[in-house]
Structure 1
Amino acid sequence: MQPEEILACPPRVLSQDQRAFYLEKGYLLVDELIDAETIAGLNRVTAAFVEKSRERRESDGVYDLAPGHCADAPRVRRLKTPDAQDKAYWDFACGLLADVAADLVGPNVAFHHSKLNFKWADSDPTANAVRWHQDAPFYPHTNYSPLTIGTYLTDVAADDGPLIVLPGSHDGPLYDHYDAAGTWTGCLSDADAAGLDTSQAQVLAGSAGSITVHNCRSVHASEPARSSTARPLLLNAYTSADAFAYTANPSRSRNDRALLRGEAVRWAHHDPRPGQVPPDWSKGYTSIFAAQAGEEQAAE
C-alpha cells in the first residue's frame, strides 16, 4: 500500500502524527507503550532462559552465545525465535504490537520473525556492537513494507547500546552487505559507512516498555553497551500480507507468515526498486553479531 492509503485506514494504536512520522522518517520511538505487568512477565520468562543457558557450552538452535559464555557468567547474545520458545513471547507478538504494525503497513499483517538480543558490557565489544546495516538484504521481499518493532524490557540509556537510526534513509539507497571478496558481512563496508551523513542520527533510548520501530530499508546500528545491564531487546518483525519473501527466512519459526491482522491476499505487491540477495539461509543462521564479528559463516 502507498503511504496515503495506509494513513486513510483508521488507526488502532498510534496517532496520525506518529504514523505519518514513521512513513516519512522510516523509524519511530514510542515511550512506555507496554504496561509494566506485561514487561515484568516477559522479564520473568527471559530470566529463566538466561538461567538455562548456563547448561550450554556453544551456540545452538535456541541460543547464540557470546565468546566467554560459561555457567558462572552466562552471556547470551541472542535467544533465537522466542515466539516458538515460549507462549508468552508469541502472545505478546500477536497482541498490541500487531496493531502497531497494522497502523504502519496497512490492515493485512503477517508475522515474519522474532529474536531477543542482549548486550553485556564485559563481553568483547566486537560481539556486542552492531555496525551500520539494513534489514532488507537479510530477507528481501517483493516490497519494502517489512518493519521491526523492538521492545525494551529494561530502561535503556545511551550507555546501554540502544538503537541508532538515520532518519529518511529508508528512501535512500540499499547498500552492499558483502565484502570485496564476496563474503557476507551483514553490514555496510567501511567506505560506505564513512560516506553516511550521521549528523542527524537518532539515538532511540527509552524506558522499559518503550518500543522502537524501523523500516527494513532504514540504516541503523547500535554502540557497545557500557553499563552493567544486559539490555534485553525483544524484536518482532512484521510485513504487509502482500509482501512475499524471495529467499529463506533467516530466523524461521513455525509462525512464519502467520496472518495476525486482516485478510489473506491473492496478489503480491511488487516494489520496482531492486534488492540484494543474501546467502542461502535454508541451511541455518546464527546472528548478525556472529556475521559482523567474522565468526563462522551463519551456520547453525
Structure 2
Amino acid sequence: MQPEEILAHPPRVLSQDQRSFYLEQGYLLVESLIDAEVVDSLNRVTAAFVQASRGQRESDEIYDLAPGHSAEVPRVRRIKTPDAQDKAYWDFACGLLADVAADLVGPNVTFHHSKLNFKWADPDATANAVRWHQDAPFYPHTNYSPLTIGTYLTDVAAEDGPLKVLPGSQEGPLYDHYDAAGNWTGCLSDADAANLDISKAAVLAGPAGSITLHNCRTVHASEPARSATARPLLLNAYASADAFPYTANPSRSHHDRALLRGEVVRWAHHDPRPGQVPPDWSSGYSSIYAAQSGEELVAE
C-alpha cells in the first residue's frame, strides 16, 4: 500500500499526524501508551523467565545468554520468541499493538516475530551496544512495510541505552550487512557507519509503557547501558499482509504469518528496490548481539 492509501483508512489508535510522521520519517515514539497494569503483568512474566534462566548454562531455543551468565548473576540478553513462550506475550502482541500496526501498514496485518531484549550494565562499555543496522536484510520481504514495535517495560533514560534512529533513512540506501570476507555481521561496515550523519539521530527514551516504532529500512542502533536497570524491551514485528518473506524467518514461532487484522491477501505487492538476502536461517539463529560481537560468523 502507498502512504496515501494507508492514511485513507480511519485511524484506530494513532492520530493522523503521528501516522504521517511515521510514514515520512520512518519512526515514531508514543509515550505511556500501554496501561500500567499491562506493563506490570508483562514484567511479572519476564521476571519469572529471568529467574528460570539461573538454571541455564548455555543459550538454547528460549534464551540467548551473555558471556558471564551464571546462576548467581543471570545475564539474559534475549528471550527468544516470547510470543511462543507465554500466552501473556502473545495476547499482548495481538491486542493494541496490532491496531497500531494497522494504522501504519494498512488494514491487513500479519505477525512476523517477537523477542525480548535486555541490556545489563557492564564494565565493558561496548558489551551491550547495538551497532547501526537495518532490519530488512535480516528478513527481506516483497515490500518494505515490515515494522517493529518496541515496548519499554521500565522507564528508559539516555543512560539505559534506548533505541536511536536516523530520521528519514528508510528512504536512503539499503546497506551491506556482510563483511569483506562474506561473513554476516548484522550491521553496517565501519566505513558505511562513518558516513552517517549521526548528529541527526533521534534518541527514543521514554517512561515504562512507551512504544517505539521503526520501519525495516530505518537505520538504527543503541548505546550501551550504564545504569543498574536491565532495560527490558519487548519487540514485536508486523507486516502488511501483501508483504511475503523471501527467506526463512530468523525468529520463527508457530505464529509466523498469523493474520491479526483484516483479510487474507492473495496478491503480493512488490517494491522495485532490491534487497539483500541474509544467510539461511532455517537451521537456527541466536541474536544480533552474537553476530555483531563476532561470537559467531555466518557465511552466506
Instruction: Report the TM-score, using the length of structure 1 for normalisation.
Output: 0.98
Paired residue for 2:165? Answer: 165
Q: Deviations over 1:188-226 (max 9, x none)?
A: 000000000111100000000000000000000000000
1:284 aligns with 2:280: no
Paired residue for 1:142? Answer: 142
Paired residue for 2:18? Answer: 18
Q: Find the aligned partners of 2:168 and 2:270 in 1 and give their Cα distance.
A: 21
Q: Deviations over 1:237-257 (max 9, x none)?
A: 000000000000000000000
Q: Find the aligned partners of 1:125 and 1:216 in 2 and give their Cα distance.
A: 27
Paired residue for 1:63? Answer: 63
Paired residue for 1:109? Answer: 109
Question: How far 1:122 sits from its partner (Å)?
Answer: 2.2
Look up the equivalent residue of 2:47 and give its one-letter code: A
Paired residue for 1:53? Answer: 53
Q: Find the aligned partners of 1:146 and 1:55 in 2 and give their Cα distance.
A: 35
Conservation of the 8 A alpha-carbon contact between 1:152 and 1:233: yes
Q: Match of 1:295, SS?
A: coil
Taking only aligned residues, the RMSD between alpha carbons, in angstroms, comes to 1.0
Q: Match of 1:89, SS?
A: helix
Conservation of the 8 A alpha-carbon contact between 1:149 and 1:214: yes
Structure 2, unmatched stretches of 5+, are none
Q: Match of 2:28, SS?
A: strand
Look up the equivalent residue of 1:163 and give its one-letter code: L
Conservation of the 8 A alpha-carbon contact between 1:127 and 1:290: no
Alignment map for 1:115-134 (pairs within 5 Å): 115-122=115-122, 124-134=124-134
Q: Deviations over 1:45-94 (max 9, x none)?
A: 00000000000000000000001000000000000000000000000000
Q: Match of 1:234, SS?
A: strand
Look up the equivalent residue of 2:21 and give its one-letter code: F
Q: Find the aligned partners of 2:265 and 2:126 in 1 and give their Cα distance.
A: 42
Conservation of the 8 A alpha-carbon contact between 2:148 and 2:215: yes
Q: Match of 2:183, SS?
A: coil
Question: How far 1:124 sits from its partner (Å)?
Answer: 4.2
Q: Deviations over 1:133-182 (max 9, x none)?
A: 00000000000000000000000000000000000000000000000000
Number of equivalences: 299
Q: Find the aligned partners of 1:184 and 1:63 in 2 and give their Cα distance.
A: 21
Conservation of the 8 A alpha-carbon contact between 2:42 and 2:153: yes
Distance 1:123 1:153, change over 3 A: farther
Look up the equivalent residue of 2:52 and give its one-letter code: K
Paired residue for 1:211? Answer: 211
Q: Find the aligned partners of 2:229 and 2:161 in 1 and give their Cα distance.
A: 10
Look up the equivalent residue of 1:285 and give its one-letter code: Y
Look up the equivalent residue of 1:230 and give its one-letter code: A
Question: How far 1:123 sits from its partner (Å)?
Answer: 6.1
Q: Find the aligned partners of 1:124 and 1:99 in 2 and give their Cα distance.
A: 39
Look up the equivalent residue of 1:195 and give its one-letter code: N
1:30 aligns with 2:33: no
Conservation of the 8 A alpha-carbon contact between 2:183 and 2:298: no
1:182 aligns with 2:182: yes
Conservation of the 8 A alpha-carbon contact between 1:155 and 1:208: yes
Q: Find the aligned partners of 2:266 and 2:110 in 1 and give their Cα distance.
A: 14
Q: Match of 1:229, SS?
A: coil
Conservation of the 8 A alpha-carbon contact between 2:29 and 2:211: yes
Conservation of the 8 A alpha-carbon contact between 1:66 and 1:123: no
Q: Find the aligned partners of 1:58 and 1:7 in 2 and give their Cα distance.
A: 46
Look up the equivalent residue of 2:34 and give its one-letter code: I
Look up the equivalent residue of 1:256 and give its one-letter code: D
Conservation of the 8 A alpha-carbon contact between 2:184 and 2:298: no
Aligned-residue sequence identity (percent) comes to 85
Question: How far 1:12 sits from its partner (Å)?
Answer: 0.1
Paired residue for 2:43? Answer: 43
Conservation of the 8 A alpha-carbon contact between 1:147 and 1:237: yes
Question: How far 1:297 sits from its partner (Å)?
Answer: 3.6
Q: Find the aligned partners of 2:296 and 2:201 in 1 and give their Cα distance.
A: 31
Conservation of the 8 A alpha-carbon contact between 2:131 and 2:221: yes
Conservation of the 8 A alpha-carbon contact between 1:67 and 1:124: no
Q: Deviations over 1:105-131 (max 9, x none)?
A: 000000000000000002644441000
Look up the equivalent residue of 2:95 and give its one-letter code: G
Look up the equivalent residue of 1:104 and give its one-letter code: L
Look up the equivalent residue of 1:238 and give its one-letter code: Y
Paired residue for 2:240? Answer: 240
Q: Find the aligned partners of 1:9 and 1:165 in 2 and give their Cα distance.
A: 27
